[in-house]
Amino acid sequence: MKNYPSLEDALNFRRSVRIYDETKEIETSIVKKCIKQATLAPNSSNMQLWEFNHITSKNLIKKLSIACLNQNAATTAKQLVVIVVRKDLWKQRAKENLNYLQNLFGKKPKEAYSSREKFALNYYGKIMPFVYGDFLGIFGYIKYFIAWITGIFKPAYRQLRKNDMRIVAHKSAGLAAQTFMLSMAAEGYDTCPMEGTDTLRIKKILNLPSKSEINMVISCGIRKPEGVYGERFRIPFKSVYKQW
């Protein structure tokens, strides 16, 4: 196993590996370390609406492989990581952020807080409940309408509907997923993010809450040469890069 200490090396090493060497094991502790590093990923408002299910049981891997449509990346994997969006935990996460800030700033009269401290406390005490709070999707449209009216006169945040907030939570989980895969690459371990999955079956297998959502399943192992399907292809950089 090689280590790739530089980011560029890890980026070049990382490929979506479809076939792993089933004779080569990977260390659970290293995968766990990479998951812990994934929690350092940037995320919207530091709400951390994610959960990482680290699968090492061969029996569970077999069941999940079927739910992953028997992709080679799943059936030959040594371990799996299921990244789950937990938008349903927004109240708990906002409260944890608020408690952290209150302990950081210390208990004192309201007038003793600086403007920055007041804003931070209001952000998690009032703004996050406004942004994430909803009732059958109705409140989201009311918030969207308010933002639309406000936006006529000045710049306004408009992504306030229920589906908008789902996208926000999944983007944050995606950032964590990429951080995890790069961390694995830095350890010389291989991964493959899989979207071709039966997410309902995965939730049942892992006994996940009904309101949780599967972001992606990432298989882990050591590649076989044939597990990388050819040279990496990317659209010419000039086609995707715009400098203003």
d(CA 17, CA 223): 6
Sorted by where each starts, the structural domains of the chain and their CATH numbers stand as 7-88+164-227 (3.40.109.10)
- Amino acid sitting at position 67: A
- ∠ CA(114), CA(117), CA(119), 5° rounding? 110
Residue 136 structure tokens: 């059958």
pLDDT tens-place values along the chain, 244 residues long: 667 678 999 999 999 999 999 999 999 999 999 999 999 999 999 999 999 999 999 999 999 999 999 999 999 999 999 999 999 999 999 999 999 999 999 988 888 999 999 999 999 999 999 889 887 778 788 888 887 888 888 887 888 888 889 999 999 999 999 999 999 999 999 999 998 999 999 999 999 999 999 999 999 999 999 999 999 999 999 999 999 9
The enclosing H or E element of 177 equals helix 162-186
Quick one: DSSP state of residue 217? Answer: E
**How crowded is residue 230: how many other Cβ atoms within 10 Å of its Cβ?**
6
